[in-house]
C-alpha cells in the first residue's frame, strides 16, 4: 500500500493548493493520502473532495505543534472527525501566537541587517492565520541572504541563530486528547529530528503512550534508512502503530516527493489498518 500520510499545502507552509497536492499524490502512485497542514484543518474538505474526485482514498490529517521538555515536537493526527469543535478550538489556540512571533522574528532579523522580513515573509503566506518559519525561509532565499531554505535552517531561525524566537505551543496532553477525542489516532512525527538524548526520548514515548498516543512515523522524508530501522524498533518496543509520510512541502524545496518513500519495514502494524473504518474510500 503506497500510503502518504504527511504533507502540506498553502493552508500551512506548502506551496501547492490542496487540490494540486491531491493530483500530485495520485500521479505519483499514492493510494491512501492525508493532508496534514500545521495546526490547521481548514483544507480538509478541499483535500478530501479533490482526492475522491480523482479516485484517491483519503484520511483526515493535521500536524500539531507541541512543546515537550522545552523542545518543539510535532504530533500528526489522522482519521479524526474534521467537524470536531474541541479539535478546531485547540488548533485555533495553537495558531494564536504566530502573528506576534512573526513580528518578533522580523525584529530579530533587522538586528543583523535584514529589513522588511515580516512583509517579505507575508508575501509567501497562503493562510494569514499561519505565518511560519518556512515563509521567512522563502523570503531569506528571495532576498539573497541564503541560497536555499536548507541553508536558512542552518544559519537563521533556529536556536542560537538570528531570527530565532522561542515559542510555547500546545501541550502533549492537549494535542493527543484533541485528536483521540475526535476519533483519530495521534502519531509522533519524524522522531529523529528532535535530537533528544535517549532518556528524553524514552520520556517522550512513555508519556505519549500514557496520554493515549498510538502511533509513530517510522518512514518519513527526514529519516535515513538507519532512522527508519531505529524507530521500527521503537514502534515494537512501545507497541505503537507505524506511519509513513513524505512531509512534502514543495516541488522546489522537498527532497522526497509525495509517494516516493520506501515501504515500512516488515513486521510493523501500519496505522492505516487501525483506521480502516475512518478511510474515505475512493470509488
Give the residues across from 243 on adjacent strands.
217
- Taking CB within 5 to 8 Å according to partner kind, which of Mn ion, ligand AMP, none is near residue 65? ligand AMP
Q: Choose one: 132-140, 232-240, 264-272, 274-282; the region binding ligand AMP (CB under 6 A).
A: 132-140
Using CB atoms within 10 Å of the CB of residue 253, give its burial: 0 to 12 exposed, 13 to 18 middle, 19+ buried.
middle
* Nearer to ligand AMP (CB atom), residue 171 or residue 282: 171
Pairing of strands 61-68, 57-58: unpaired
Residue nearest to Mn ion (CB): 74
CB of residue 267 to Mn ion, shortest distance in Å: 26
What does the per-residue mask of binding to ligand AMP show for 29-48, with x meaning CB under 6 A? ---------x----------
Nearest to 66 by CA among 243, 230, 208: 208
Selected binder of ligand AMP within 65, 94, 106, 127 (CB under 6 A): 65
Selected binder of ligand AMP within 67, 153, 209, 269 (CB under 6 A): 153
**Residues of this chain, 44-103, that bind Mn ion according to CB under 5 A:** 63, 74
Selected binder of ligand AMP within 249, 261, 264, 271 (CB under 6 A): 249
Pairing of strands 241-245, 215-220: parallel
DSSP state of 96: T
Binding of residue 138 to ligand AMP (CB under 6 A): no
Instruction: Look up residue 117 and give its three cell numbers.
Output: 522580513
CB of residue 126 to Mn ion, shortest distance in Å: 12
Q: Give the HSE-up count for residue 149: Cα atoms under 13 Å, Cβ half-sphere.
A: 18
Q: How far is residue 52 from each of residues 21, 63, 280, measured CA to CA in Å?
A: 13, 22, 8
Give the start-end residues of each E strand in the chain.
3-4, 32-33, 57-58, 61-68, 71-78, 185-188, 215-220, 241-245
Binding of residue 247 to Mn ion (CB under 5 A): yes
**Residues of this chain, 7-26, that bind Mn ion according to CB under 5 A:** 13
Q: Choose one: 49-57, 127-135, 202-210, 258-266; the region binding ligand AMP (CB under 6 A).
A: 127-135
* Nearer to Mn ion (CB atom), residue 17 or residue 236: 17
- If DSSP codes are grouped into helix, strand and coil, which group holds residue 131? coil
Amino acid at each position: 500500500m503506497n500510503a502518504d500520510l504527511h504533507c502540506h499545502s498553502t493552508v500551512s507552509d506548502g506551496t501547492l493548493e490542496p487540490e494540486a497536492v491531491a493530483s500530485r499524490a495520485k500521479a505519483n502512485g499514492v493510494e491512501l493520502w492525508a493532508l496534514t497542514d500545521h495546526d490547521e484543518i481548514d483544507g480538509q474538505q478541499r483535500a478530501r473532495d479533490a482526492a475522491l474526485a480523482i479516485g484517491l482514498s483519503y484520511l483526515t490529517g493535521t500536524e500539531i505543534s507541541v512543546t515537550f521538555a522545552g523542545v518543539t515536537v510535532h504530533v500528526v493526527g489522522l482519521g479524526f472527525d474534521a467537524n470536531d469543535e474541541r479539535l478546531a478550538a485547540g488548533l485555533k489556540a495553537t495558531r494564536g501566537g504566530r502573528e506576534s512571533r512573526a513580528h518578533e522574528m522580523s525584529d530579530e532579523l533587522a538586528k543583523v541587517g535584514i529589513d522588511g522580513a515580516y512583509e517579505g515573509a507575508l508575501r509567501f503566506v497562503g493562510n494569514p492565520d499561519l505565518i511560519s518559519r518556512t515563509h521567512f525561509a522563502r523570503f531569506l532565499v528571495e532576498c539573497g541572504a541564503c541560497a536555499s531554505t536548507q541553508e536558512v535552517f542552518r544559519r537563521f531561525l533556529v536556536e542560537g541563530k538570528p531570527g530565532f524566537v522561542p515559542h510555547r505551543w500546545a501541550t502533549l496532553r492537549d494535542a493527543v486528547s484533541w485528536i483521540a477525542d475526535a476519533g483519530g489516532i495521534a502519531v509522533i512525527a519524524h522522531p529523529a529530528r528532535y535530537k533528544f538524548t535517549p532518556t528524553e526520548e524514552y520520556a517522550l514515548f512513555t508519556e505519549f503512550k500514557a496520554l493515549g498516543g498510538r502511533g509513530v512515523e517510522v518512514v518519513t522524508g527526514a529519516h535515513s534508512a538507519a532512522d527508519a530501522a531505529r524507530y521500527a524498533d521503537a514502534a515494537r518496543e512501545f507497541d505503537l502503530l507505524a506511519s509513513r509520510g513524505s512531509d512534502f512541502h514543495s516541488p522546489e524545496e522537498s527532497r522526497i516527493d509525495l509517494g516516493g518513500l520506501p515501504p515500512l519495514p516488515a513486521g510493523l502494524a501500519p496505522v492505516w489498518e487501525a483506521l480502516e473504518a475512518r478511510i474515505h474510500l475512493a470509488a
